[in-house]
Structure 1
């Protein structure tokens, strides 16, 4: 056939094929956009009151019984528990030398019967899709890394034949410089179940522009019911965590952070209210109840946890550079390295217990981070204590 005839035909076919591909991409984009709009409608409920915080967060005060958490399919018939039935006994008294970074009451409170829900944007949901989750479930030494996310975990953990019904500790609070695609956490873990059904709850503080959109040090929570394969999320970026406090949110900013001259910490407790099976998040020496993870979310945490841990997680950016962890220093001296002190767990009798020597150190082969299991950090008021963290950077294996 004459080339003068063939070439125009090929050109027409190419244009048709190109247009078909473009239309397919547009169709997928529209479908994804519609899905995001549906998610936003679920997460951003009609507000009884709305206000803006000094950090720039938009807070919607939502009816406590209509909050986004209750849109989870497993919570269809869940009745909000405004207070736990029980509370662990035997916690050590607050040290007179303790300086807490806990909440300076600078935010407005929501009216009675409502809870503060941070307004979620479409950008938040798009970022949430790429946030690493599998790394949050790794307590022991890492043998492999989720695709696209290199991470390092430093902690002390407990695992024995008796179940744990809670973890407690004072987490020193620092403000770090973290790149937009890096994540740095100081937190506590609760876990139970086989790998493909691993039930996990975390709480602590983080500096993460990807999660929060800023460089502030903020509280954070995370949960999953299947090893982060399909379930779970950070904070309230999906239904699940039931908020009961009219002022405090899971991503609340911690503005008082440590320096080499002055140190601040935040007391965090996660425990199971055994009569109901719900897992509560509690802050500060005043025992401020923030909210809870309902028992319905999990299939392996009804009778306590098999493993608990205290420490940090650092997740590298796309260029392979890891962020600082803890205070960002590795010299493991009390004044300059991040601590977690007053480490305790809750036993089967709903009592706080000090670790009894069963702690295991988990420190990956990284050259960037360190860990010191120091019992009481050289001070009686510290009780059981660890020092951990490091500078980050190009971490060797």
Structure 2
């Protein structure tokens, strides 16, 4: 494939780097010692531990809703089938007493590709399913919360003001493609799924799509969806389908999946946060998931579609400030946390764990990158730019062809002879 991509202007480069730092999960150890469950230099304090346990159980009672049916995944997850109107979203004051909205108008030019089956998640291999009128929600356990570096912010990314900004060790590395400079009303991509090795519990590897608006300050709005491997959040190394949103640069609003009120799920077959199957293999079969996010022209809400026309749900427009209107940037790509274990660069992999130059079947990819315009038309990208923070550790190469449209390969192994 012939590859071509645009060079990055200094101004755009600055804003993308700013966003990448702002969107990062906070560093490994909490600065709030009152909620740091992993501190090694503190003696055991029964009263404090009891207080934490009470806090955890109160939070679990709030987010784990009564189940009409419970399904035990063969791979460890517990899936609760919760009535549509009792899901966490309807705890929000502006949603109380309401019902989920009907199916919105799809963007023109949308021809679903990629996954054509719905049983892409490991929990569905049990043969059980959730009844109509319910949504499947992965149950959060005490163990999930006890793994968290800060239980007060469980299920949330770190506030921008607490992310270290020195260029040598902000702890997060990225390889991304992006477009900016126009008004965007949605985006679509097919994302190659792998199971990258994550070096320790406090690191992660993800591949996702960001729909972004705001000034890249405290008013940053984002909608995010993709897959991630996060041992801290989920307790294992399976890639999982996830969503995220924020309206204040990750400070006080938003969360992963359904861990707070916000995203309204409408589908009874997909559990957000559940493990994905199958995954791609080196020099073997390749598997990707197609994700579409777009703004409903009638009601203004941002809808999420998975695979071949499967509606997952929506983010109500009132959650946002800038995204009530449109997005100003769309970003696609990978991110890892580098906690520099033993003083060296992490060996946590991004994507397949191989560099972009190895190409199809070896390197991870995003393909068929598109955006939604003001008239609800899904159109190809015309100005994809690519950026890698540390190309000796993780890199990216973009291109365009007749089959894949705009695409890029990306990823890497982390620590190697050129990335010490």
Per the shorter chain, which TM-score range? 0.7 to 0.9
Tell me whether 1:323 sits opposite 2:359 in the alignment: no
Deviations 1:157-192 (A, max 9, x none): 1111x3211110110111122132211011100111
User: Residue 262 of structure 2 corresponds to which residue in structure 1?
Assistant: 240
Structure 1's 25 and 230: CA in aligned 2 closer, same or farther, altered over 3 A? farther
Structure 1 window deviating more from structure 2 (143-152 vs 212-221): it is: 143-152
Tell me whether 1:198 sits opposite 2:220 in the alignment: yes
> 1:308: how far off?
0.5
Contact 1:125 1:237 in 2 (8 A): no
> 1:122: how far off?
2.2
Tell me whether 1:365 sits opposite 2:390 in the alignment: yes
2:289 counterpart (256, 261, 266): 266
> 1:106: how far off?
2.7
Distance 1:233 1:147 in 2: 28
Contact 1:165 1:304 in 2 (8 A): yes
Distance 2:143 2:237 in 1: 17
Tell me whether 1:133 sits opposite 2:154 in the alignment: no
Structure 1 window deviating more from structure 2 (305-314 vs 295-304): it is: 295-304
User: Residue 218 of structure 1 corresponds to which residue in structure 2?
Assistant: 240
Distance 1:317 1:100 in 2: 38
Residue pairs, 1:289-308, within 5 angstroms:
289-308=311-330
Deviations 1:173-219 (A, max 9, x none): 11122132211011100111131021111111112211221111211
Contact 1:219 1:253 in 2 (8 A): yes
Structure 1's 309 and 331: CA in aligned 2 closer, same or farther, altered over 3 A? closer
Distance 2:381 2:251 in 1: 32
User: Residue 86 of structure 1 corresponds to which residue in structure 2?
Assistant: 105
Structure 1's 135 and 334: CA in aligned 2 closer, same or farther, altered over 3 A? farther
1:176 counterpart (168, 174, 196): 196
CA RMSD of aligned residues (A): 3.0
Q: Secondary structure at the match of 1:106?
A: helix
Q: Secondary structure at the match of 2:346?
A: coil
Contact 1:101 1:266 in 2 (8 A): no
Deviations 1:283-339 (A, max 9, x none): 112x10112212222112111111101111111236252511111001522231111
Structure 1's 84 and 273: CA in aligned 2 closer, same or farther, altered over 3 A? farther
Q: Secondary structure at the match of 1:385?
A: strand
Structure 1's 126 and 353: CA in aligned 2 closer, same or farther, altered over 3 A? same
1:386 counterpart (361, 383, 408): 408
2:125 counterpart (100, 106, 110): 106
> 1:100: how far off?
6.8
1:150 counterpart (161, 164, 171): 171
Unaligned segments of structure 2, at least 5 residues: 1-41
Contact 1:190 1:308 in 2 (8 A): yes
> 1:239: how far off?
2.4
Contact 2:118 2:269 in 1 (8 A): no
> 1:128: how far off?
4.4
Distance 1:396 1:144 in 2: 21
Rg larger for: 1
Q: Secondary structure at the match of 2:406?
A: coil
Distance 1:111 1:151 in 2: 40
> 1:270: how far off?
1.1
User: Residue 256 of structure 1 corresponds to which residue in structure 2?
Assistant: 278
Distance 2:112 2:191 in 1: 16
> 1:82: how far off?
4.2
1:62 counterpart (82, 87, 97): 82
Deviations 1:119-169 (A, max 9, x none): 1112323444547725999xxxx9926998601111111111x32111101
User: Residue 350 of structure 1 corresponds to which residue in structure 2?
Assistant: 376
Deviations 1:79-129 (A, max 9, x none): 2324332111113564xxx67786345352211111111111123234445
Distance 1:284 1:122 in 2: 32
Question: How many positions carry a matched residue from both structures?
Answer: 362
- Tell me the TM-score normalised to structure 2 length: 0.78
Structure 1 window deviating more from structure 2 (305-314 vs 79-88): it is: 79-88
Distance 1:34 1:127 in 2: 16
Unaligned segments of structure 1, at least 5 residues: 1-21
Distance 1:100 1:336 in 2: 23
User: Residue 367 of structure 2 corresponds to which residue in structure 1?
Assistant: 341
Contact 2:164 2:170 in 1 (8 A): no
Contact 1:40 1:120 in 2 (8 A): yes
